[in-house]
Chain A
Amino acid sequence: DAKTTQPNSMESNEEEPVHLPCNHSTISGTDYIHWYRQLPSQGPEYVIHGLTSNVNNRMASLAIAEDRKSSTLILHRATLRDAAVYYCILIHAGGTSYGKLTFGQGTILTVHP
């Protein structure tokens, strides 16, 4: 599986935008970029995913570099509830991966009031 690299931790203030980076220089053409987050004492929660184009949903935006070797998860206005571990994960579409998620260490996001 292609590997991702994320900063160990980031901090933000409430109501400010947050940009969480992810490097995936060995990404292959059929790898989807998925983002999940895990709040304290909860199961992981899907945030967003994309293949080549930028994506928006009610939770966040995903900006994918043109060469696809990096991506950025954007939380437009951080709230205290967004404090979590954010995981950037590549999933190989089809084949024998069966959509399995291989979690790295993720980025611990701290949001200050």
Chain B
Amino acid sequence: DTEVTQTPKHLVMGMTNKKSLKCEQHMGHRAMYWYKQKAKKPPELMFVYSYEKLSINESVPSRFSPECPNSSLLNLHLHALQPEDSALYLCASSQASSGTYEQYFGPGTRLTVT
């Protein structure tokens, strides 16, 4: 099974809402990633978790709060977002964070902030 699942597929939220995105993999991977992709642009890294520890935060605003409760699960908690945060949020996993392994991506959550 080489699948990374993401829920929900679509999310519409107001600027005062709190919501969470979920990502799951059962490949035994120990590195997990969040990327953000705006329309017609390439994906941009937001966070990297390695062995359930936050290893990289690419200066992401605090209204985005990642969480890795266990090695299979990655969450992204959203609070007080802005309309410009509307984007496709992609999760990926890799066997390790050494750079020598491929990353498997989920289908993404399309977020609209109203």
A16-24, A61-69, A71-79, A96-104: which lies at the B interface?
A: A96-104
Find the B residue at minimum CB distance from A94. Answer: B98
* Residues of B contacting A: mostly: strand
The residues of A that contact B44 with a CB separation of less than 8 Å are 103
Q: Tally A residues with Cβ within 8 Å of B.
A: 27
- Known A-B contacts A43-B90, A43-B106; the reply to A99 vs B101 at CB < 8 A is yes
- Known A-B contacts A93-B99, A97-B99, A100-B48; the reply to A45 vs B105 at CB < 8 A is yes
The residues of B that contact A93 with a CB separation of less than 8 Å are 98-100
Binary contact readout A74-113 vs B (1 if CB under 8 angstroms, 0 otherwise): 0000000000010100011110111111111110000000
CB of A94 to closest CB in B, whole Å = 6
The residues of A that contact B100 with a CB separation of less than 8 Å are 32, 91, 93, 99
Find the A residue at minimum CB distance from B101. Answer: A99
The answer to whether A98 and B55 have CB atoms under 8 Å apart is yes
CB of A105 to closest CB in B, whole Å = 6
CB of A77 to closest CB in B, whole Å = 23
Find the B residue at minimum CB distance from A93. Answer: B99
The answer to whether B45 and A100 have CB atoms under 8 Å apart is yes
- Known A-B contacts A44-B90, A93-B98, A94-B98; the reply to A99 vs B103 at CB < 8 A is yes
The residues of A that contact B50 with a CB separation of less than 8 Å are 98
CA distance A49 to B103 in the complex (A): 11
CA distance A1 to B92 in the complex (A): 20
CA distance A101 to B103 in the complex (A): 9
The answer to whether A103 and B43 have CB atoms under 8 Å apart is yes
Question: What are 16 A-B pairs at a CB distance below 8 A?
Answer: A44-B43, A46-B102, A92-B99, A97-B99, A98-B48, A98-B55, A98-B99, A99-B31, A99-B48, A99-B96, A99-B98, A100-B45, A101-B45, A103-B44, A104-B42, A105-B42
